[in-house]
Amino acid sequence: MSADQQPSGAVGRADAKRERVVAALSGGVDSSVAAALLVERDLEVIGVTLNLAGVASRCCALADADDARRVADHLGIRFYVANYAERFRAEVIRPFAEDYLSGRTPIPCVACNSRFKFEYLLERARVFGADRVATGHYARVDVDPDTARLRLRRAVDRRKDQTYFLFELGQEQLAAIEFPLGGLEKEAVRARARELGLATADKPESQEICFVPDGDYAKAVEAICPEALPGAGEIVDREGRVLGLHPGIHHFTVGQRKGLGLSAERPLYVARLDAGRNRVVVGEAEDLNAKGARLERVSWVSGVVPNRAVRATVRVRHRHVGASASIEPRAEGQAVVSFDEPVRSVTPGQAAVFYAGDVVLGGGWIAESL
């Protein structure tokens, strides 16, 4: 039975004796163990796989649903597949390509998490009579003792921490989310999966964007938006002197050194992408340093926009360790970040996420470096 169909009466009625939770099962080891931990707590668990990207994807596709189904059978829980492939293409895949063609470097995983894992999945959960969802993300949620508001905190395993991709979550969503793996190390999760005999225990992880399994972003953009490709353009230095030609700005991102096809006495890097003029602007290493960034679509986990500048550690990439900075909120969901020391390769389209220790304060999307 598909979760797109109305569930039977047995599934639709809430169990008065046990809390009902919907567990997102991606077909990987993390979500499998997360569901198992919920079962061990004697919760009534319903497994749901979101078919997002179709059979060509390496994540959340029908092939992974087979592994998820085996895990659900092993755990003795109900299992459903919800088809969101068309919506995912319209709301995540297409904007990903359009961002590249606009000179930005997007992070589709944020929209996927915020919208599909914690908005649409929660809607689906309520159809099943559940008010909570659980996933295999490495993150934690607790209550701020000073404000009584919910906090999003980094995972114990810093190598696997995924809070950078979850900064858009607010109070309503956090109140309905469980992250069973937030307090565990990855090695412990693998060991638990083997101990339980789960089919996904030794399944490898994909480090690429799920709908770009070979890592060739430019080829993916060309397949998604063939009608919008800008074609060849100029590579110029910061003074506007033409140094060469490029095959399309979607082949480049800020900080890139390889693939420029230029010879110079000193290494050259992509400093900026000028989509309006279809130009790749290059410079030397020091030209990549930014004193700050202008952000748009800023969200605050607490739900309260600060009325003054905030001191925080700001991460401008998933693997960025973070830099000390001041964040000044502006009108219309904007903010300006001022770094204490210049930060390299602050890239439009990426997220700037604010941390106070291991607590996520919020974040926004980089519109331009300053």
Q: What residues act catalytically?
A: 112, 210
Cα–Cα distance for residue pair 149/141, rounded to 1 Å = 10
Instruction: Check if the beta carbon of residue 165 is closer than 8 Å to that of residue 107.
Output: yes
Q: How many residues does the chain have?
A: 370
3-state SS record for 61-129: CHHHHHHHHHHHHHHCCEEEEEECHHHHHHHHHHHHHHHHHCCCCCCHHHHHHHHHHHHHHHHHHHHCC
Instruction: Check if the beta carbon of residue 179 is closer than 8 Å to that of residue 140.
Output: yes
Pinpoint the alpha helices (H) of the chain.
9-12, 29-40, 62-75, 85-88, 94-101, 108-111, 121-127, 171-174, 186-196, 217-224
Non-local CB neighbours of 248 within 8 Å, separated by 6+ positions: 218, 229, 230, 231, 232, 233
- β-pairing, 279-283 vs 269-274, is antiparallel
For residue 140, list its beta bridge partners. 153
- β-pairing, 139-143 vs 132-134, is unpaired
Cα–Cα distance for residue pair 163/152, rounded to 1 Å = 8
Cα–Cα distance for residue pair 11/303, rounded to 1 Å = 34
C-alpha dist (Å) from residue 231 to 104, 226, 227, 242, 246: 16, 11, 11, 17, 9
* Listed residue (83, 354, 40, 5) closest to 195, CA to CA: 40
Number of helical (H) and strand (E) elements in the chain, helices listed first: 10, 17
**Amino acid letter, 116:** F
